[in-house]
Amino acid sequence: MQHVVKAIDAFGANDCPQLPPVALRMGRPTRIHKNATPHRFHYIVEWAERRNLTQADITRSLGANKSNVSRWFSGSIPSEMYLIPLTALLTGDDDEPAALFRHPDDDWLARSMRGRTADEVGRIKAMIDAAFPKRVA
């Protein structure tokens, strides 16, 4: 009778150690810039289009670096230093930076003014200003 050697028998116990099964998982990506502002969804591009402003116009108006403005158009959120001036430039309201996170068409006041003549809009604004005078600080 002939002895058949299995392939596993040809190696010693230490030659082919049994490794435990490995669970493959994606690790957390390393954050290179730990203090960087996270990407969020905003409507800076739509507000700029509404006001017919280009990135160069915004750069000149705010005195910002053009790479910052480019990043804002790509989805980054402006730093606090630029958030209020950018909001004032794009929406006309420097008291509410949250307006940049709403689509320009979702503004109830803009919807109510749509389709009205310039004279009607002027009268409505005058009525609102009379009803709610600006507070003096």
Query: Structural domains in the chain?
Result: 44-111 (1.10.260)
Q: 35-90, pLDDT tens digit by residue?
A: 665 555 789 999 999 999 999 999 999 999 999 999 999 888 888 899 999 999 99
105 close to 117: Cβ distance less than 8 angstroms: no
Q: What is the DSSP string of 30-99?
A: PPS-TTSPPP----HHHHHHHTT--HHHHHHHHT--HHHHHHHHHTPPPPHHHHHHHHHHHHS-TT-GGG
Q: Among 5-9, 25-29, 32-36, whose mean pLDDT is lowest? A: 5-9
pTM beyond cutoff 0.75: no
The total of other beta-carbon atoms located within 10 Å of residue 30's CB is 6
Mean pLDDT of 108-120: 82
